Amino acid sequence: MKRSKHPLPKPWLALIGAACCLLPVTTAAPLPAERSPTDIERERFLQQARIGDAKIITGGVTAPLRATLSQDGFTHDAHIQKIDETLKRFQTSRRTYANFRDSYKYNIAAYRLDRLLGLNMVPVSVERVYHGKKAAVTWWIDDVLMTDAERYEKKIPPPDLESWNDQKHQARVFNQLICNEDPNLGNFLIGTDWKLWMVDFTRAFRRHKELQEPRLLQRIDRRLYDGLRALDLEALRRETAPHLTRQEMKAILARRDTILEVLAARIAESSEAAVICELPGH
């Protein structure tokens, strides 16, 4: 190898070496122990943390996993779902589908859409490769009292019935919007503070434009109502691509239009105060 005809003087080499030492190194900051992590911090952790032991969650038809993730002394569990398949024909209690999609991608799309609408009822979910396959890695909800199925079976009354009912109304609006074919009560988690969480959306985001059960649309939180009115294709593309197709996005907007029409009729029948509520913390 030939030497440069104009080698740098030693003082310059020293300065360059010192400057390189001062360059910032991009590393993930550890999650805070003194407060609840932000969505961005949780996304980063789910993307980068080491995935340890994982066990199959019993009762799930798509073989989901519960895994323990750790990074920089912080440990938290995550839900991992890898399914991504299309069925030529699929029969539900409501209809028969051709080319029915069952995909982990819809967990991520549901999280992104939830935040876009200001709902905050879907846990953080990101795409990550696990054992050679792409998967949805979702933040595990801590301090869960029970599922709504367990609450219903045991006939446990909520401490604040009005607040609880309003949360259920928001969940119904969201599931009608995304055309969720599997909104069973086992997928509604109740926190120790009686906050309602929704999980498992692999059979949502159908491509047809009609609502499943418009009769369920009775009340809506002001922030969600405003979010629906402001929703457009560009915002959907920005937040949910590549997890949703353009056809799936257009179906969301068509169902949104019908939801707003149903709610407008409800308001005309009664009053805005009877239909639009103000949920704290949403």
Which is nearest to 194 in space by CA: 138, 140, 151, 139?
151
Give the separation between CA 80 and CA 54, rounded to whole angstroms.
Answer: 9
Average pLDDT, the chain: 88
pTM over 0.95: no
pLDDT in tens, 91-124: 777 777 778 899 999 999 999 999 999 999 999 9
Least confident interval from 15-19, 118-122, 204-208, 248-252? 15-19
Whether the pLDDT of residue 24 is over 80: the answer is no
- Identify which of 8-22, 57-71, 85-99, 152-166 has the greatest average pLDDT: 152-166
Rg (alpha carbons) of the chain, rounded to whole number: 23
Give the separation between CA 135 and CA 107, rounded to whole angstroms.
Answer: 10
Question: Mean pLDDT over residues 124-137, rounded?
Answer: 97
Whether the pLDDT of residue 5 is over 70: the answer is no
Question: Mean pLDDT over residues 229-250, rounded?
Answer: 97
Whether the pLDDT of residue 26 is over 50: the answer is no
Looking only at the bridges linking them, the beta strands covering 84-91 and 96-103 are antiparallel
pLDDT in tens, 178-218: 999 888 899 999 999 999 999 999 999 999 999 999 999 99
Residue 174 in contact with residue 231, Cβ under 8 Å?
no
Which two three-digit tokens encode residue 212? Answer: 């499943």
